[in-house]
A and B are shown apart, each in its own frame.
Chain A
Amino acid sequence: MQLTLWTYEGPPHVGAMRIATAMTDVHYVLHAPQGDTYADLLFTMIERLPRRPPVTYTTFQARDLGGDTAQLFKDAVAASYERFQPAAMLVGSSCTAELIQDDPGGLAAALQLPIPVVPLELPAYQRKENWGASETFYQLARRLVVPKAAAADDSPRKPRCNILGPTALGFRHRDDVREITRLLNDMGVEVAVVAPLNASVQDVRQLAQADFNVVLYPEIASTTAQWLQRQFQMPFTKTVPMGVGATRAFVAEVAALAGVEVPAQLEEHLHAEWYARSVDSTYLTGKRVYLFGDATHVVAAARIAHDEMGFEVVGLGTYSREFARELREAGKLYGVEPLITDDYLQVEEQIRALQPELILGTQMERHIAKRLGLPCAVISAPVHVQDFPARYAPQMGFEGANVLFDTWVHPLMMGLEEHLLGMFREDFEFHEGAAPSHLGSTRPAASLQIAAEEAAPAATLATTAEASTPAAVTSTQWSSEAEKELGKIPFFVRGKARRNTERFALEQGVATITVETLYDAKAHFSR
């Protein structure tokens, strides 16, 4: 048993859900107890999908266990086929169903559905989410991909590749695909199939018809890409195009695989490289950075931090055990020993010990950073809803490089701001403890409280003088019980409640605000 407070990855069947949800005509029947449907809301809330994930759960309960859970499963498969008419189905067990040992594959096969039904063996007590996604994609490909057809005519055509790896609930997968597709098109390479994101079963069947594969996310796609190489002699790209240097290396790799020239105009919208050279960025030199996340993003980000931003990499780590080797190699480049763990407390301990000036990590590291008062940017899943942004925000390609520069530098003090801090060291607004004005979490306690009570961005500018005014100008008094009751109102609306109550008391000519007045006012203003 392992004591876990927070976990970086979900169970492997969530990985399978990410594949099914990414695709357009696949349905997944999951043998699972009541409650496992919680995973739906990762997709509908965090990724804000406007549709339900294509997953049917058997949702067995205790009373079903004595009976025939196998029949329950068969019924669910039959009913799902009937209702959703998918082009292929995935069937499998969640952790609990794994223990009751019904055989989803065998049971589904007995139904003899007229579509491919792919059984998934996802060992829930050994493996995790990314492995589950990788295995699911691989099993689908193995079952569906048809051999390369002989060319119908030998008229010259553009070189053709697939993009492999993007899924549902992937960190910036949507925009990475758009960015890399554009980059490939600009190079004169056609994108045949993107999979699994927005791919149909028919698309997956066609994977072997392209000339080579672009692997964007090795955690998800390298097993499948390696199989396609063995089976159909399709080469695949090894460089993940994240950062300026890596994108250039990727372009060279693709150019060699596709046999095309690198066009001159590829980099016309790249700004990050110049920005990093501009004098304002001098202050970034040697900033001590700590990196944690999935292996792909950490390895790529470390290279950018070191080679393109001029940071010092003081530590790096990953929760992707399957990619420990890649991370050890990266660690050697920067002379640090990588941390391979899925225990966020160990990560916190290391960050505390190293005291970096910038943390690049996941949602968990963002919270660790907040507690330690350190600047932080998110570079990897798991992420929260704010990291599935509405705006275009790739991490890959040249636009991705621009996005990364802005995202990483934003939480740090910009050069000019740091210069001012040095000049006005003793000034009340620029004392040593002052954090950047956009770094809300580390504001001094007094102004933080004011800001929270006002719940308005402008309040961050409040000075102590402003803070002491509101109570003084009114002629009403707060009774101690009312004051106490006010304290029970959540801090972010407390300021509004106080103002409304005082206004109400003044209008009504109430001299002493009691608990009754407080609620009278609340009733008066509630809409």
Chain B
Amino acid sequence: MQPVIPINKSTQGCSNSPVLSEKGQREVFCGLTGIIWLHRKIQDAFFLVVGSRTCAHLVQSAAGVMIFAEPRFGTAIIDERDLAGLSDANDELDRVVSELLARRPDIKLLFLVGSCPSEVIKLDLSRAAERLSRTYVQRARVLNYSGSGIETTFTQGEDACLASLLPTLPQRQSPNRQLLIVGTLADVVEDQLGALLHKMGIDDFDFFPPRRSSKLPAVGANSVYLLAQPFLSDTARGLDALGLQRLDAPFPLGEEGTTAWLQAAATAFGVDAARFAEVTAAPRQRAQATLARHRAKLAGKKVFFFPDSQLEIPLARFLHRELDMDLVEVGTPYLHRQLMAAELALLPEGTRLSEGQSLELQLDRCHADQPDLVVCGLGLANPLEAQGFTTKWSIELVFTPIQGYEQAGDLAALFSRPLLRKQKIAA
């Protein structure tokens, strides 16, 4: 089997490439949408949006068919009376929270999630959270973060949520080195990655966020952290401030990304090369074998990314290096150069990178480029299909387990399926 894939398919990658930075209409979700997967992860948390009917409608539309007996998210809808005076709004919020906690005795962590309306009227949710935390001190912890569209784009909602949890992490006194893996991953992915770490002899690690709010990982000066998701810049800054050291790595997408990501942990914990190779050999081979099948369908195809989740750059790297796709434009809502450094170095030189969006101009470029596959949101997908493009709707990439070796083939399949489908039903 092939050893490590050579890092230099291109020489310098995109480390210093200019980025097309645009302002204009943005066809993106706001950070409230993060609630949809965060509430599935933290099983005893409730997300209370303080906002308008629009916010409630958005969360409901994004949640789609997930109508639960008792959903663990809701909206305190601001009405006219609340707009009349601020003190009133705080009393109202206290009433809604007491109503909610009485209804849901199982809730141990309550997030007050800020929205555009609550921020524009300057409702101070951090003070409200402090006040309510004191009121319900034995009962539930109350935190706040902003998921508003004016502050956050889509997955940045998770960043804001995790950052709000940082001050509540317990102190750790142990002299041993500890690894913190940061970013929501599907349970199955966590288990697989955890098993690989154990096999390498790394046993002291925690996932953040945890599955229950009572299981928050303790961190200390001996902790290092590895980001599992690319959109966690505020969380990373907060962890740095707590004295944790960040391990620089590409993100665990594809065989190569997962290997490099695990390697960063292995290096930090002094796992020897032979052990690392032994542990990763079989799953790497499996991943490569599944990818080879998709490569036959995807190689040489041109792909265009509209901005959505900040996963675009790692995904483009995966599609280019492991499936031989050509990158036409890689759009991202926000580009954090430091966190993305390892990824940018792996992108082919000259890739057109864009940050932000001016929708109509970007659609013009897409039309001019005539890509074989367009990765975009659901608002654009069917209209582009109707114009003859093949699309992959991007939100699925956030909900589906895609990280790690065993999911590499599934990830590739998400991109090859629309092309295969077009071929099949055109015949």
Which of B216-224, B265-273, B375-383 makes up part of the contact surface?
Answer: B375-383
Contact B67 A6 (CB under 8 A): yes
Contact B52 A1 (CB under 8 A): no
- Identity of the chain A residue whose Cβ is nearest the Cβ of B395 in the assembled complex: A41
- Identity of the chain B residue whose Cβ is nearest the Cβ of A38 in the assembled complex: B58
Residues of A within 8 A of B124 (CB): none
Contact B25 A56 (CB under 8 A): yes
Within the complex, which residue of A33, A51, A519, A520 is in contact with B383, where a contact is CB–CB below 8 Å? A51
Residues 23-37 of chain B, each 1 if its beta carbon lies under 8 Å from chain A, else 0: 011111111110000
Within the complex, which residue of A35, A41, A95, A488 is in contact with B187, where a contact is CB–CB below 8 Å? A488
Contact A3 B52 (CB under 8 A): no
Is B289 an interface residue, CB under 8 A from the partner?
yes
Is B86 an interface residue, CB under 8 A from the partner?
no
Cα(A206)–Cα(B242), bound, Å: 69
Is B184 an interface residue, CB under 8 A from the partner?
no
The smallest C-beta distance from B293 to any residue of chain A, in angstroms, reads: 6
Interface size grouping (class) on chain B: 35 or more
Cα(A26)–Cα(B133), bound, Å: 50
Residues of B within 8 A of A41 (CB): 61, 377-379
Is A99 an interface residue, CB under 8 A from the partner?
yes
Residues 383-427 of chain B, each 1 if its beta carbon lies under 8 Å from chain A, else 0: 101100000000000000000001001100100000000000000
- Identity of the chain A residue whose Cβ is nearest the Cβ of B410 in the assembled complex: A526
Q: Which of B99-113 contact A (CB under 8 A)?
A: 99-100
Cα(A100)–Cα(B378), bound, Å: 29
Is B213 an interface residue, CB under 8 A from the partner?
no
Contact A83 B386 (CB under 8 A): no
With A2-B76, A38-B58, A51-B386 known as contacts, the answer to whether A33 contacts B121 (CB < 8 A) is: no
Is A61 an interface residue, CB under 8 A from the partner?
yes
Interface hub of B69, B83, B116 (most chain A Cβ within 10 A): B116
Contact B82 A1 (CB under 8 A): yes
Is B274 an interface residue, CB under 8 A from the partner?
no
Residues 114-125 of chain A, each 1 if its beta carbon lies under 8 Å from chain B, else 0: 000000000011
- Identity of the chain B residue whose Cβ is nearest the Cβ of A123 in the assembled complex: B80
Contact B61 A50 (CB under 8 A): no
Is B166 an interface residue, CB under 8 A from the partner?
no
Q: Inter-chain contact count A-B, CB under 8 Å?
A: 203
Within the complex, which residue of A45, A60, A125 is in contact with B150, where a contact is CB–CB below 8 Å? A60
Residues of A within 8 A of B410 (CB): 526
The smallest C-beta distance from B421 to any residue of chain A, in angstroms, reads: 13
Contact A94 B379 (CB under 8 A): no
Cα(A367)–Cα(B100), bound, Å: 21
Cα(A526)–Cα(B416), bound, Å: 12
Q: Which of B58-85 contact A (CB under 8 A)?
A: 58, 60-62, 65, 67, 69, 71, 73-80, 82-83
Q: Which of B195-247 contact A (CB under 8 A)?
A: 195
Which of B1-9, B10-18, B90-98, B318-326 makes up part of the contact surface?
Answer: B90-98
Residues of B within 8 A of A488 (CB): 187-188, 191
Residues 137-156 of chain B, each 1 if its beta carbon lies under 8 Å from chain A, else 0: 00000000000111101000
Contact B283 A519 (CB under 8 A): yes
Is B282 an interface residue, CB under 8 A from the partner?
yes
Cα(A526)–Cα(B410), bound, Å: 8
Cα(A6)–Cα(B30), bound, Å: 19
Contact A5 B54 (CB under 8 A): no
- Identity of the chain A residue whose Cβ is nearest the Cβ of B99 in the assembled complex: A3
Residues 277-291 of chain B, each 1 if its beta carbon lies under 8 Å from chain A, else 0: 000001100110110
Cα(A124)–Cα(B80), bound, Å: 9
Is B369 an interface residue, CB under 8 A from the partner?
no
Contact A33 B149 (CB under 8 A): yes
Is A14 an interface residue, CB under 8 A from the partner?
yes
Contact B26 A59 (CB under 8 A): yes
Contact B386 A50 (CB under 8 A): yes
Within the complex, which residue of A7, A99, A522 is in contact with B60, where a contact is CB–CB below 8 Å? A7
Contact A33 B191 (CB under 8 A): no
Residues of B within 8 A of A60 (CB): 150
Contact B188 A124 (CB under 8 A): no
Contact A523 B99 (CB under 8 A): no
Contact A44 B378 (CB under 8 A): yes
- Identity of the chain B residue whose Cβ is nearest the Cβ of A46 in the assembled complex: B61
Within the complex, which residue of B69, B89, B406 is in contact with A1, where a contact is CB–CB below 8 Å? B89
* Main secondary structure on B side of the interface with A: helix
With A45-B378, A51-B386 known as contacts, the answer to whether A35 contacts B53 (CB < 8 A) is: no
Is A205 an interface residue, CB under 8 A from the partner?
no
Residues 2-46 of chain A, each 1 if its beta carbon lies under 8 Å from chain B, else 0: 111111011101100000000000000000011111111110110
Residues of B within 8 A of A520 (CB): 286
Residues of A within 8 A of B341 (CB): none
Is A157 an interface residue, CB under 8 A from the partner?
no
Contact A96 B52 (CB under 8 A): yes
Q: Which of A216-235 contact B (CB under 8 A)?
A: none
Residues of B within 8 A of A50 (CB): 382-383, 385-386
The smallest C-beta distance from B261 to any residue of chain A, in angstroms, reads: 18
With A61-B150, A83-B360, A371-B69 known as contacts, the answer to whether A35 contacts B116 (CB < 8 A) is: yes
Residues of B within 8 A of A124 (CB): 52-54
Is A364 an interface residue, CB under 8 A from the partner?
yes
Cα(A182)–Cα(B88), bound, Å: 56
Within the complex, which residue of A1, A61, A526 is in contact with B413, where a contact is CB–CB below 8 Å? A526
Contact A3 B120 (CB under 8 A): no
Is B172 an interface residue, CB under 8 A from the partner?
no
Is B40 an interface residue, CB under 8 A from the partner?
no
Contact B30 A35 (CB under 8 A): yes
Cα(A94)–Cα(B381), bound, Å: 24
Residues of A within 8 A of B77 (CB): 1-4
Residues of A within 8 A of B188 (CB): 485, 488-489
Is A49 an interface residue, CB under 8 A from the partner?
yes
Within the complex, which residue of B71, B93, B150, B409 is in contact with A34, where a contact is CB–CB below 8 Å? B150
Residues 83-125 of chain A, each 1 if its beta carbon lies under 8 Å from chain B, else 0: 1000000000011100110000000000000000000000011
Cα(A126)–Cα(B78), bound, Å: 10
Contact A40 B53 (CB under 8 A): no
Contact B28 A99 (CB under 8 A): no
Residues of A within 8 A of B187 (CB): 488
Contact B57 A11 (CB under 8 A): yes
Contact B53 A49 (CB under 8 A): no
Q: Which of A492-527 contact B (CB under 8 A)?
A: 515-516, 519-520, 522-523, 526-527
With A34-B149, A99-B121 known as contacts, the answer to whether A128 contacts B53 (CB < 8 A) is: yes
Residues of A within 8 A of B148 (CB): 33, 35, 62
Cα(A41)–Cα(B380), bound, Å: 8
Within the complex, which residue of A3, A40, A94 is in contact with B100, where a contact is CB–CB below 8 Å? A3
The smallest C-beta distance from A373 to any residue of chain B, in angstroms, reads: 13
Residues of A within 8 A of B (CB): 1-7, 9-11, 13-14, 33-42, 44-45, 48-52, 56-62, 64-65, 76, 79, 83, 94-96, 99-100, 124-126, 128, 363-364, 367, 371, 384, 485, 488-489, 515-516, 519-520, 522-523, 526-527
Please give me the 4 A-B residue pairs with the lowest Cβ-Cβ distance, nearest first.
A35-B30, A35-B149, A50-B386, A40-B379
20 A-B interface contacts by CB (under 8 A): A1-B96, A3-B74, A4-B56, A11-B52, A33-B148, A33-B149, A34-B149, A34-B153, A35-B153, A39-B57, A59-B149, A96-B54, A96-B116, A96-B117, A124-B54, A488-B191, A519-B283, A522-B406, A523-B287, A526-B410
Known: A5-B75, A38-B33, A95-B116. 13 other contacts (CB 8 A): A1-B76, A5-B73, A34-B26, A40-B379, A41-B61, A59-B26, A95-B54, A96-B120, A128-B53, A519-B283, A519-B286, A519-B406, A526-B290
